[in-house]
Amino acid sequence: MISPYLALMLFCGFIPLVYAINEVSKPSWKNLKGSYSTIYKILGDFRVIPDLGHSIFLLLVYVPLTIIAVLALSLLLDSTHVPGNTFMRLVFLLPGIVSGGISVFIWMFFIGSHVNWNLNNEAWIIAGVAFSSGAGSWVVIQYGSLRSIPREVLEAAHVDGCNRWKLAIQIKIPMIGRYIGYMGILLTASAIQIYSEPALLTKIGLPSNWWSLNQVAYSYAFQAGDFAAGTALSLDMLIPSIIIAIIFIRKTDFLKRSSY
Spatial separation of the C-alpha atoms in residues 82 and 90, rounded to whole Å: 14
Summarize pLDDT for 199-230 with one digit per residue, the tens: 888 878 788 888 999 999 999 999 888 999 99
Work out whether the CA dihedral 28, 33, 34, 35 comes out positive or negative.
negative
Question: What's the chain's Rg over C-alpha atoms?
Answer: 21
Is the pLDDT at 253 greater than 70, yes or no?
no
Q: What's the CA dihedral at 245, 247, 251, 253 to 10 degrees?
A: 30
Structure confidence at residue 53 (pLDDT): 93
Where does the pLDDT of residue 101 fall: very low under 50, low under 70, confident under 90, or very high at 90 and above? Answer: low
Spatial separation of the C-alpha atoms in residues 183 and 169, rounded to whole Å: 18
Domains and CATH numbers, the chain: 32-251 (1.10.3720.10)
46, 107, 119 from 126: Cα distances, Å:
22, 10, 12
Summarize pLDDT for 35-46 with one digit per residue, the tens: 999 999 999 999
Summarize pLDDT for 169-206 with one digit per residue, the tens: 999 998 998 889 889 889 999 999 999 888 888 878 78
Q: Which residue has the higher pLDDT, 132 or 96?
A: 132
Structure confidence at residue 100 (pLDDT): 61
86, 108, 127 from 205: Cα distances, Å:
40, 10, 16
